A and B are shown apart, each in its own frame.
Chain A
Amino acid sequence: MNVLELKNVSYMYDDGNEYVLKDISFAFEKGKVYAIKGRSGSGKTTLLSLISGLEKYKIGNIIYQGKELNAINLDYYRSHSIGIVFQSFNLLPHLTALENVVLSMEINHIKENKKEKAIQLLEEVGIDQTKANRRVLKLSGGEQQRVAIARSLSYNPDIIIADEPTGNLDHETENDIMEIFTELAHKQNKCVIIVTHSKNVASQADIVFELKKSSKRK
């Protein structure tokens, strides 16, 4: 069953004069890793922002679990149903790895065993307790990205989206991160959507979508 479906979505920024996305239709299922490829400027990030509800679509439909995305509370959606991982990790630098994960849980009103759960999540992505209690700025890029993934999992969302999650990481680390993502999809039945330039990443995905740069004038 599709957890998320895009139907004929077209998108143009308010201040743009051409469609960034034109008539896109994709369907996403749980338990699979999706890779979205495309040249720079083809609208990959734009697509993710629509999926994550950071931007509102105007043409076409995005359906999450049978409901029109525009009709549901997007703050709630972002904090419960979808986890976002960025290329630049986007952790709060003044907090420790553990605190970053716990804060995300608190925003989601998770009450019980936050700390234990966070430590467990961090261990699953390969961050041990000493590193968990370090300020994130004192962690390596790969480690930070693991923390970001742990954070995106903290409230157990159905969908994980990642915008070039390995863009700042070396090949080896990229493989480690991809391993985490595939495990999430295959063992924990998440829907993982990864935007990437990397052939390596795309090759490890179950399904690859390609965005063609739309050059049509409106």
Chain B
Amino acid sequence: MYIIKNAWLSLIRNKGRNLLIGIIILVLSIATCITLAIRSSADQLVNSYNSKYDIEATLGMNRDNMMKDFTPGEKPTEDEQSEQEKPQMPEIESLTVSEIEKYGDSEYVKNYYYTYRFNMNANIEKLSSSNSDDKRMDKKADDMNSGDFVVMGYDSYESMSDFISGKYTISDGEVSSDFTSDSCIISSELASSNDLKVGDTITLISPNNEELTYDLKITGIYKENEEDSDSMGQMFSDSANMIITNKTVSEVIRTLDEDISMILSPTFILTSEDVVDSFSEELANKGLSEYYQVQTNLETINSETASIQNVAHFAGVFLIITLIIGGVVLFVLNMINVRERKYEIGVLRTIGMTKLSVSCQFVVELLIVTFISITLGIGIGSVLSVPTANYLLENEIESSQQAQTQVQQNFGGPQGEEANRPMGRDGGRMNGVMSLDKVTSMNAVVDIKVILQLFGIGLLLTVISSLSAIVSIARFSPLTILRERS
């Protein structure tokens, strides 16, 4: 006990000596605090990005495998180049609902949805551009059904990725939130050429059988974003002849006319990015044609978080460097300190204090200084870390808020006050749209765990830097002060 008392006395009566050490530890702990705050806000950003993006797996064409079957065993040579340019792809069976359900029933899949795409005629005029082949028309659908219009069936806002991305935006009306209603939206070009407006009704006609019809009410008019359009030099956009409706409508039409060939595009929301390969393997085992391959949006996600992760990484490196430099400075300071205190060590040793006790006293002194400085440092650091974190988050918060409002406008949702109405099926969150909140209290960035970590680091630094003291105390011969004259 007297060791602690003695340490305390020696501390408060030699304030100047400990001031420098205290200040250094203070600065170190403020820096550590802020760095940890930067890290934690970076983590928060990465997390919100990760939740912003679900990991979506879609099934795309595996061109390599298709090519292999096209020219089995033959390596294409220069001469065959021209033949290569227009390869005749092998027939690909379209996915069926039961197949998709089978694939979706997997431990790796959180959720899945699929969209329909098929061709129909209608009681309105088709827009034909000067380049008569409609590139966007699916070749197969074109050949077999030769319907004038492409009909898309979605089952949620979430699945309408072209609206989320802003490729299409609603210019009038809205996308009905009832995905079972007999409603549709059409392009502004189609609307104007046929003199249609929101509230009008159009009739879809089966290309195989004119008797089979289906009425849809127009709830919205969309237009294609010019930047995203690849219809340069054409009179109409690619999507001019696209009628967007919902899954329920699509399913009913199929029961009416089983000959209509429908292309189903499933999207599987995976549980985590680690399961992509396993999921891929599982699909192959479940019998997915090798002409399909699993494609994910991982690249997009990672490219968005890369810069933030860099910041977090840099903050970590900065922290380590700071701590190393701080440790070295403390070590040297302690060495100088101990040199100055040789006399004291000698006195304590000659009056019978053991090396261990003297070392203990020095460590306790340093611990007290460390403790006080870290406590102060956390106080100051946490006050500073809130604006630091907010500064980092600021841009992201702003853009995320803009994105949310923007997306709602794309769907023709309510604006102004009411714009905060949640959209999407799981509690307002929509893939590709994140919500970020401003840090308002310091425990958001500097929590108990961080504080404990800081004290742990402080303890470690103290022990390391007192090593110099302990070593010189152990090597110090009290005899030297016996020889000292005044």
Contacts and interface: CB of A to CB of B under 8 A. Distances in A.
Nearest to B13: A94
Contacts of B481: 86, 88, 90
Given A54-B478, A55-B479, A107 B344 contact: no
Interface of A: 45, 48-49, 52, 54-55, 75-76, 78-80, 84, 86-88, 90-92, 94-95, 99, 103-104, 106-108, 151, 155, 163, 167-168
Interface string B390-404: 000000000000000
B2 A103 contact: yes
Contacts of A55: 477, 479
Contacts of A79: 351-353
Main secondary structure of the interface of B (DSSP, over half): helix
Given A87-B485, A95-B9, A107-B2, A75 B478 contact: no
Contacts of B343: 90
Nearest to A135: B13
Contacts of B346: 90
B263 to A, nearest CB: 88
A145 B346 CA distance: 17
Contacts of B485: 87-88, 167
Contacts of B478: 54
B2 A106 contact: yes
A54 B485 CA distance: 17
B6 interface: yes
Nearest 9 A/B pairs, CB to CB: A79-B352, A106-B2, A94-B13, A78-B352, A75-B354, A88-B486, A54-B479, A90-B347, A107-B353
Contact of B350 (A76, A84, A99, A167): A84
A167 B418 CA distance: 94
Interface in B231-276: none
B357 interface: yes
Interface in B445-486: 477-479, 481-486
Nearest to A81: B352
Nearest to B344: A92
Contacts of A168: 486
20 contacts: A45-B482, A45-B483, A49-B482, A54-B479, A75-B355, A78-B351, A78-B352, A79-B351, A79-B352, A80-B352, A86-B481, A86-B482, A88-B485, A90-B346, A91-B347, A94-B10, A103-B6, A107-B351, A155-B352, A163-B482
Which of B6, B347, B348, B357 has the most chain A CB atoms inside 10 A of its CB? Answer: B347
Contacts of A88: 481, 484-486
Contacts of B354: 75
A91 B348 CA distance: 9
B192 interface: no
B285 interface: no
B351 A104 contact: yes
Contacts of A90: 343, 346-347, 350, 481, 484
A25 B354 CA distance: 30
Contacts of A78: 350-352
B14 interface: yes
Given A94-B9, A95-B9, A106-B2, A151 B482 contact: no
